[in-house]
Structure 1
Amino acid sequence: MSGPEDRISSTLAVYLTEQFFHTYQRKPSASEIRSWERSIPQVANALKGTVLYSTDAETRAKLRELVEGEAPAPAVRAGHGA
């Protein structure tokens, strides 16, 4: 039986697969998907207790940029907050 971490990894791997296809117009390889499934729990454990739980808007914007690959808003880039 799979635990919550396995379900989360599987769900995120599905999301990453969809986004990969959307971005590159091709499916990722099976080994790439397996790599995501194996690394997601390790990344989640590393992030526990970090800025993920921050209420600071600039910190959240920086994290969103890191995780989602979004460019920060011009004010955040210039160091003026969100």
Structure 2
Amino acid sequence: MAVPLPQRPVRPRQEEEIYPEVGDSVTHFHFGECTVISSDGERIRLRQERDGRVREVSLTMLRIEPPTVDPATSRKHFRLARKN
């Protein structure tokens, strides 16, 4: 009589994280409404809407909430919060 082999445990699938890309809009917890002007995967550069200043921030220090999409422009909008 053959003994069935135990099934291999299913690995939980890691959800792919979505990061802001050039042209996306973000709301940064400190800088407010911004547009992403460049990204290298670790850091992003943001142009503040209110005064045009450019800010560079580390993605590792941020909690990135899933984006919403503006139906009129099909532009993604992210909320960036402190990670802790």
TM-score, normalised via structure 1 length: 0.25
Larger helix percent: 1
Bigger Rg over Cα: 2
Q: Which has the higher contact order (CA 8 A, sep 6+)?
A: 2
